[in-house]
Amino acid sequence: MVAVVAGSIKFTMPDAGLEGRKPRPDLFINSSHVVCHLSHGFNAGGVPSNEFGSVNDGSIDRAISEAAWRAKAEFRLDTKDKAEIAKFEFGFIQIMFDGQFLMQYAGAKPLLGSLAIQPDFQNTFYLDSNPAHTPWTLPPADREILIDDRVICFTGDHPAFMAKRRTENFHPSFAKSAAIDNHVQLINHSMHFITVLAQFEKATFKVQPLASFRWQLKYQFEVKYVKGAPIIRNASSIKFDPQAKIGDPGFNGDEKKIFESRSGLFFNTVAPGRYRAALQKGSSARTESDTWFLNVPKDFFTAK
C-alpha cells in the first residue's frame, strides 16, 4: 500500500488568484445572450450573437478559454517504487451543490408583463468533474506530476452559465397578440463546492480523501435598460476557505455517496437541457404575469 507521508501536504489555494488577480463574478450581455462568468478566462467572441444561436449546447465552451482560478497540492509518498506508485492515481474530485437558480424577465413596459424561470436542476448535488476523465477535474496530463516520491496535483474551474437575453411571455392575456418579448431583469444563482484531493487504488477501486477545501459562488445581477442599453448591478460574490483541511473532509451524506461511488449527475450536462425546457410554453418551471412583478423597478426600461 502506497501512503502519503504525514504532514507533507502543502497547498496553493485558489484565493491567491491568477497573475495576481482574484477571480471576480461578472455578467456579459450581447444582443441575444447573457453569460454569468468569472473575470479571468472568458472569451466574449465565443458567445452567439444572434437569436438563433444555441444556448448551452456547447457554445459556452467556446466562451470559456481557461480556468478562472487554479489550485495545486504537493506531497510526498512513502516509497519511490514506480511499480507500486503506478497502482494508484492522484488528483482532485469536485462535488457541487446547486442552490437557488432564478431568472426574471420583464417587458419594456408594465403592460408587457414579466416572467420567472426556475428550472428543476436546483437543490441537487452533482459530481462536478471532467466527464471524459471522471471522476477527476482534469485529464491525466494536466492532473498530476510524479517526481520520484513527490507528487504535484492540479485543479481549476470556471463555473459559467449562458441564457437568452430575451424570451417570450406566453401569459394567456397575450394569446391574441404578436409575440411579447421580455428582457432579462434579474439573475440569482448560488453554488456550493467541495474540492477534494484524493488517492485512488486501481485494483480495489477504493478512493481516499487526503485534503479538501470548500468554496461558494453566487451570481447575483439586476439589469436595467437605459435607452435600450443594459446597465448591470452586480452583487455577486465568490469565497474560498482560507486554507485546506487535511484528512477527513467532513462530508454530508450526499457528498460521501458521490465521492465513494465516483459517480453522479453532471451539472454541465443536466442544467442546459432543463433551462432550454423551461423556455418552452407550458413549462412548470415558468411563472408568467401580464404585468410587472412587484420587484421590477419603475425605471427598468427606457426606450431609445
Stretch 62-68: mean pLDDT: 87
Band the pLDDT of 261: cuts 50, 70, 90.
very high
Is the pLDDT at 62 greater than 90, yes or no? no
pLDDT at 59: 62
Confidence (pTM): 0.92
Band the pLDDT of 16: cuts 50, 70, 90.
low
Is the pLDDT at 153 greater than 70, yes or no? yes
Q: What 3 state SS string does 137-159 have?
A: CCCHHHHEEEECCEEEEEEEECC
- CA distances to 11, 36, 40, 118 from 300, rounded to whole Å, are 46, 20, 30, 21
Stretch 94-100: mean pLDDT: 95
Place of cell 471524459: 132
Answer yes or no: are the C-beta atoms of 108 and 182 closer than 8 Å. Answer: no
Portion of the chain with pLDDT greater than 90, in percent:
73
Is the pLDDT at 15 greater than 90, yes or no? no
Q: Which three cell numbers stand for residue 244?
A: 485546506
Q: Rounded to 5 degrees, what are φ and ψ at 69?
A: -145, 160
For residue 271, what is the DSSP state? H
Is the pLDDT at 55 greater than 50, yes or no? no
Answer yes or no: are the C-beta atoms of 4 and 75 closer than 8 Å. Answer: yes
Question: How far is Cα 90 from Cα 109, in angstroms, rounded to an integer?
Answer: 56
Q: Rounded to 5 degrees, what are φ and ψ at 71?
A: -140, 160
CA 37, distance to chain mean position in Å, is 8
Mean pLDDT rounded to a whole number for the chain: 91
Place of cell 443594459: 230
The H or E element spanning position 295 is none
* Long-range contact set of residues 16-25: C-beta below 8 Å, sequence gap at least 24: 17/69, 18/67, 18/68, 18/69, 18/70, 23/68, 23/69, 23/238, 24/238, 25/217, 25/218, 25/219, 25/234, 25/236, 25/237, 25/238
**What are the pLDDT digits (tens) for 109-127?**
999 999 999 998 888 999 9
Question: How far is Cα 155 from Cα 139, in angstroms, rounded to an integer?
Answer: 10
pLDDT at 209: 97
Least trusted range by pLDDT, from 3-17, 70-84, 179-193: 3-17
pLDDT at 226: 96
**What are the pLDDT digits (tens) for 154-178?**
999 999 999 999 999 999 999 998 8
> Higher confidence at residue 76 or residue 32?
76
Is the pLDDT at 146 greater than 60, yes or no? yes
Stretch 215-242: mean pLDDT: 96
**What are the pLDDT digits (tens) for 288-300?**
999 999 999 999 9
pLDDT at 21: 65
Burial level of 27, CB count in 10 A (0-12/13-18/19+)? buried
Burial 245-268 (b: 16+ CB within 10 A, else e): bbeebebeeebeebbeebebbbbb
Residues in the chain, overall count? 304
